[in-house]
Structure 1
C-alpha cells in the first residue's frame, strides 16, 4: 500500500485537473438529476479525467464519483477514492465563483487523505489524518472565537425534492435563530467552501443539515485536522451514519450545538 504522504500528493495533483477545467471551461449541457439538482458536461469531464489519472497512478485503490458511480477496478481494496467533481454546481452554472473540486481517500468509514481546490480563488487545501491541514503550503488552524455573537456561521443550501417543504421549515427556523444570535449568517452554496473556510478561520461554524460523504468527507478531514470539531446534531462525533453535519471552532461548539438542538 502507498504511504499516505505520497497519496496526499496524488490527491493534490488530481484535484488540480478539475481546477484547470473549471477555470477554462463553461458548461455546454446542464442535466437535471432531481428537482432543481443538476450536473453539467464539465462535471462529467472532470470526473472522467480524474478517474483515469487515479486509475493510472493508484490502480490498487477503488474509486467512486458523484456523477458516474463506482469503479469495478480494485473492488477488494480497503481504500477508495471519493470525488465530488464540482461542489457547488449551481454556482458554477450561474457564473458564481464559489465552487470546488473535492477528493477524499476513505478507509471504511474513515477519511485518511483529503484535497480540495477552489479554482476561482486559487486556494488549494489538503490534509492527512494526524498530519495537520494546509492551504497553499500554510498550516491551518480553526478560529479562536469564544462568543457566538462574534461568529460567522455558514449554513448549507435549503432542501430540494421530496419532503423539501418540511425540511425547509426547520432550516428557516434555524436561520432565524442564527440571525438573532450570531454576527452573520452565510450561505456559500458549497459544503467544500463551508468546511475548508472553517479550517482556515474564515468562518467559525458550518451547519450542513445532511450527510453526503462525497460532498463532505474531504472537507471534514481538513476541518478536523485544523482543530475544528465535527459532530452530528446530537453532539456525538460525526460519522457516515450521522444525520446532520455540525462543524465548529472548539470555543463556540457548545453554544452553537445548543442553538441547533433548540430547533431539531
Structure 2
C-alpha cells in the first residue's frame, strides 16, 4: 500500500511543478503595487494574492479531490485523513516589497503529518528545487546533498525571523540568546527572511543549518522534505522528529546535529 501511495504522490510532482511555474511568471512579471498590513509588522501584497488565486484555480482543476491550505486564504476542500496541498504563494513578502530578490514559492503535498511532494521555486534566481519522498532532492534536475561539515567553526547557519505579535518579547529573548550562543561558535550567521530558502539551501549544502523557531506549514512543509531527502535532519526544538504539528523547524547537516541542538536546548532551558 505504501508503494502504491508513493507512486501516486510521485505522479503529482509534475502538477506541483506546473503550479509553481505559473506562480513564478506572476512574481517575475508583476511588481507589487499594493501592500496591506494583515497583522503586526506582517504584510501581504497584491502579488501574494494573485499567486495564491492562480495556483488555487490550477490545482482545483488538476486535483479536484485534494484540499489546499494557503497562507492567504486558509484551508479549503479535501477530507480528513486525505493528502492536502500546502502553499506559500510568496515566502519572503517583506523582501519582495523592498525589491530584495530573496523570495520563494513553496508548495508541498502533505500526508499523515509530513510532506511527500515538494517544490520550492526561487523566481528571481531562476532556480527550482523538487523532492518526492524516498526519491531524493534535486535542484533544476541535479541531485543535491546536505553539507558534510561536522565542526561548528565551519558552519554557516541561517536564523529565522524574529517573532511579532502576542508573546513576542518572550519568544525573542530565546532567539537573542540562541543568536549569541551560535554566533560565538559558528563561522557565520545569516538571516535571509524566507524559511523556504533557508531550508532549500540547507538541503543544497549552501547552509549547514537553518534554525527556525516557528513552524507554519506553508513556510516549512516543502523545505522539510527537501532537507530530509538530501540527507539532512529536521527536528522540533526538543529533538523529536519534525512534523507539521511541531513548534519549531530545525534543519541541520547530520554531522552538526548534536552541536546545534545543544545550543537550542540551552536557549530554551532544556536540560
TM-score by length of 1: 0.96
CA contact (8 A) 1:156 1:208 kept: yes
CA contact (8 A) 1:115 1:125 kept: yes
1:106 & 1:156 partners in 2: Cα distance?
Answer: 22
2:210 & 2:190 partners in 1: Cα distance?
Answer: 9
RMSD of aligned residue pairs (Cα, Å): 1.3
CA contact (8 A) 1:81 1:105 kept: yes
CA contact (8 A) 2:199 2:210 kept: yes
1:251 aligns with 2:255: yes
2:81 & 2:243 partners in 1: Cα distance?
Answer: 21
2:120 & 2:146 partners in 1: Cα distance?
Answer: 17
1:8 aligns with 2:13: yes
Q: 1:189 aligns with which of 190, 193, 202?
A: 193
SS at the partner of 2:200?
helix
1:7-26 pair list within 5 angstroms: 7-26=12-31
* Structure 1 position 71, deviation (Å): 2.0
* Structure 1 position 77, deviation (Å): 7.0
Match of 1:31 in 2: 36
Q: 2:239 aligns with which of 235, 238, 247?
A: 235
2:173 & 2:244 partners in 1: Cα distance?
Answer: 25
Match of 1:130 in 2: 134
Q: Which structure 2 segments of 5+ residues have no match?
A: none
1:54 & 1:240 partners in 2: Cα distance?
Answer: 21
2:29 & 2:134 partners in 1: Cα distance?
Answer: 35
Deviations 1:38-74 (CA, angstroms, capped at 9, x unpaired): 11111111001001111111112111211012223x4
Deviations 1:199-240 (CA, angstroms, capped at 9, x unpaired): 000000000001111110000001110000001121111122
2:137 & 2:14 partners in 1: Cα distance?
Answer: 13
Match of 1:89 in 2: 93
TM-score by length of 2: 0.94
Match of 1:109 in 2: 113
1:62 aligns with 2:71: no
SS at the partner of 2:68?
strand
CA contact (8 A) 2:81 2:112 kept: no
CA contact (8 A) 1:198 1:206 kept: yes
1:62 & 1:243 partners in 2: Cα distance?
Answer: 23
Deviations 1:6-47 (CA, angstroms, capped at 9, x unpaired): 201111111111111111111111111110001111111100
* Structure 1 position 241, deviation (Å): 2.6
Q: 1:173 aligns with which of 171, 177, 192?
A: 177
Q: Which runs of 4+ in 1 moved over 3 A?
A: 74-77
Match of 2:220 in 1: 216
